[in-house]
Amino acid sequence: MKKGLLLIVIFLTLGLLLHTLPSVGQESEEEAEYPTYPIIFTKPLKAVLFEHKVHVEEAGLSCEDCHEDIFPMEAGATQENKDFNMQALYNGKYCGACHDGETAFASNTRCATCHIGVMGWKRLTGKEKGEKEE
């Protein structure tokens, strides 16, 4: 009788453990949260738009596909590099690591998909003429 009770306690404990463990596992498998605001590059050319949602949700990429080998997790960092330009992209660096016409549309096509121009930059940042532009 005592043995039976012990077994029940063990089964209940196991049941609880099995119930909680998988949900812990699921959470750690989920991707970390990405910025929901647009990343806008303004150097050397104003402006280029990068959206995490398109890449993570729609293209199904994971953080490690870009961070930290291709891009640091710091908005504005990459545009300080002197070689952040189209030639580098054509050579397979930065966005060009994927935008090569195979993994994603090529960097020498659909310019306006990445380039939103000064008007697009103003619309997204809410900055008007006369305000200090960086």
Q: Given the rule CB under 6 A, which of 9-17, 21-29, 40-48, 125-133 is the region that contacts ligand HEC? A: 40-48
Which residues does 122 contact at the CB level (< 8 Å), separation at least 6?
128
Give the tokens for residue 76: 């504005």
CB of 30 to ligand HEC, least distance (A): 9
Q: How far is CA 18 from CA 12, 25, 51, in A?
A: 10, 11, 38
d(CA 57, CA 88): 26
Amino acid at position 60, single letter: G
Size of the site for ligand HEC (CB under 6 A): 54
If binding is defined by CB under 6 A, does position 116 make contact with ligand HEC?
no
- Between residue 58 and residue 87, which ones bind ligand HEC under the rule CB under 6 A? 59, 61, 63, 65-67, 70-79, 84-87
If binding is defined by CB under 6 A, does position 44 make contact with ligand HEC?
yes
If binding is defined by CB under 6 A, does position 124 make contact with ligand HEC?
no
